[in-house]
Structure 1
């Protein structure tokens, strides 16, 4: 993982955490696009997996699994509610704690990678794991939001009409 990707990952996570901690209208588009982009960037940086050691592949798999589990847990800690008939979301303190655990796990796995001689995995799977973890969180939040009777938005405004764009019907309770 090069310096540009590290800066991109840190900036994306900081932006995401800041916006979600402040709370905002839940927009399905915004919820899904960032993790998909991060995952695609991560997959493109993996290159040829055949060149990685078995230990490196195992550490990447563990990193992805940890990110997925913590992403699902974070999704359940996000406050999802109604404001003026529209679904809102907001990170809670426990959500930020789970982010800290995720970051600590990545640092720990990086240390393990150096100890077992799999340093080639240290940055290789981080972006994929990050993207998939955020995607798991987003899908849990989206599923919870779809069960609400409030309007779930795809985006705040349609570019042509300026009207809010709804995202599918709410699921029955």
Structure 2
């Protein structure tokens, strides 16, 4: 499985570079969800085939991940956001491509350090997919606030449905609080309307009887 991660990562990088240079609609799932999936899959792959990362492995991987996320943030800062037909498009200028070789060099350097420290998992191909996902998340962390501040909506997903980044982030961070709001509203809602209805009906009946009583006198 680990041997397959390298060609998979190479294919992903080639596709990303091609899309960045050509320009593409900015879709929320591709910006946020896809990197998150890649990161989780890559992290799970760290312990496959009986390899159990030691303390030195985790230390090297964490340092490598911080570097990968920083390079991703730089990529996100250089990425151009442009409105096109009412939605956001992204395009990477050619001068931003140097960050990809920087990511490769950082990985090679940390591999040498890991091998020196006998961190066999960190020095293998196992962290490649995980680090690529972290790199993409670093870019998303910078691009998402920029996109929201632009006021231009994200492009619809391929199925035609819109992807609301604010709702997605709110669902992850405060899903429980969001779920409680409708219930609180439902408990307040009847208290505001039925309560005055009963007294109003009672007063109407009472006044009718009162008028009837006075009229009979």
Where does the alignment leave 5 or more consecutive residues of structure 1 unmatched? 159-163
CA distance in 1, matches of 2:163, 2:55: 46
CA distance in 1, matches of 2:56, 2:143: 33
User: Aligned runs of 1:94-109 on 2, under 5 Å?
Assistant: 94-109=95-110
Q: CA deviation at 1:76?
A: 0.4
- Structure 1 residue 17 and structure 2 residue 17: aligned? yes
Contact 1:35 1:131 in 2 (8 A): yes
Partner of 1:52: 53
More strand per residue: 1 or 2? 1
Contact 1:29 1:155 in 2 (8 A): yes
More helix per residue: 1 or 2? 2
In structure 2, the residue corresponding to 1:88 is in which secondary structure?
Answer: strand
Whose radius of gyration is greater, 1 or 2?
A: 2
Q: CA deviation at 1:54?
A: 2.6
CA distance in 1, matches of 2:163, 2:111: 42
Structure 1: 4+ residue segments shifted above 6 A: none
CA distance in 2, matches of 1:33, 1:14: 19
Q: CA deviation at 1:114?
A: 1.9
Q: CA deviation at 1:166?
A: 5.5
Partner of 2:70: 69
Cα RMSD of the aligned pairs, angstroms, is: 2.3
Contact 1:63 1:125 in 2 (8 A): no
- Structure 1 residue 42 and structure 2 residue 39: aligned? no
Q: Deviations over 1:33-53 (max 9, x none)?
A: 3212211211111228x9333
Aligned length in residues: 164
Contact 1:153 1:167 in 2 (8 A): no
